[in-house]
Structure 1
Amino acid sequence: MRVALAGGVLRPYGPAVPLTRKLKQMVDDLSVIDDPQERLALLVDRARKLPGLPADARIDAHRVTGCVSLVWLVGEVRDGRCFYRCEAESPIVRGLVAFLCEFYSGFTPAEILAVDPDPLEPLGITRNLSPTRRNGLAAARRTIREFAAKYNSPAPATKEHPV
């Protein structure tokens, strides 16, 4: 699947393409919105519609260190592919981290580790963020990659793990 603007709502991409191509598709699709602030608003609105993490998943083991806002990331490996879910206290941070989770979900650990694209940078969204928010997003990306590194093995598994 590809993200497409349908009535102002993003539909999720599937993992059928390499991460670098997925990034290009996302940038192409979202570039129809000229204003980076409007792109950010779309991501925040999309995150509001996603299910949040249950309270029992909002624990220190899932907390992203380096974020000023409280952010939790849960990684899961199913059939050898990583899937990520998140929660954050700030709606803006939740929107940004949810986008990162969607971007990296569905890929094998090796695919995630093979490239290090920042899907938010080419969209121009991070330019207007405070340095602390940018650092927090870098911490979230690092946490996603660390999870992938931890489970980078040839044997498929199905387990939920703290990120």
Structure 2
Amino acid sequence: MSSTIQEKRDRIIEEMSLFDDSYERFAYVIEKGKKAEPLPVEYKTDAFRIEGCMSNLWLVPEFRDSLCYYNSDSDSPITRGVTYLLCSLYSEHTPEDVLSVDPVFLSEVGITQHLSSNRRNGLSNVTAKILGYAELQKSQSV
């Protein structure tokens, strides 16, 4: 049985709390990003590009069997890692579940405080897109 979205969130927080400083946390985030499959080139278009980020960042949503799925890619290792964590958290859940978890948890574990303002802006845009796609799917299934 797959984990609930809250269990995934708690697991990320627990894993991040094992690190004493921001350098170790970012190393962990970068390693997580390396696990992500790169997006096929046909998805690296303006239609999927997230604006407001220093690096190139793409987010591809998919809805099947009443569940949300998200994939992302970036040319920045940190951005790729952070968005991989978000996509892993929010994928394989209903739109209602996606909308129930506030992405503020990334600041709770000390990630967002150490990002540049442009990267924080890009991260905010990613979470807005993830939640927006879930909201759209929820409204279409009513």
Fold equivalence (TM over 0.5): yes
Structure 2 equivalent of residue 70 of structure 1: 56
Q: Determine the C-alpha separation between the residues in 2 that align with 1:154 and 1:69.
A: 32
Q: Is it true that 1:101 corresponds to 2:87 in the alignment? A: yes
Tell me how large the CA RMSD over aligned residues is: 1.8
Match of 1:11 in 2: none
Runs of at least 5 residues in structure 2 that lack an aligned partner in the other structure = none
Partners of 2:57 and 2:26 in 1: CA distance:
18
Q: Distance in 2 between matches of 1:138 and 1:127?
A: 13
Partner residue, 2:18:
32
How many corresponding residue pairs?
A: 141
Counterparts in 2 of 1:20-59, with a 5 A limit?
21-59=7-45
Identity value in percent:
38
Give 2:20's aligned amino acid: D
Q: Larger % of helix: which?
A: 2
Are 1:132 and 2:118 matched, yes or no?
A: yes
TM-aligned CA distance change 1:90 to 1:18, over 3 Å: closer
- TM-score normalised over the length of structure 2: 0.89
Runs of 4+ more than 3 Å apart: none
Q: Deviations over 1:116-161 (max 9, x none)?
A: 2323111101111111111110000001011111111585xxxxxx
1:54-78 superposed Cα distances (whole Å, 9 cap, x missing partner): 1011111111122221110001112
1:94-122 deviation per Cα after TM superposition (whole angstroms, max 9, x unaligned): 11111111111111111112332323111
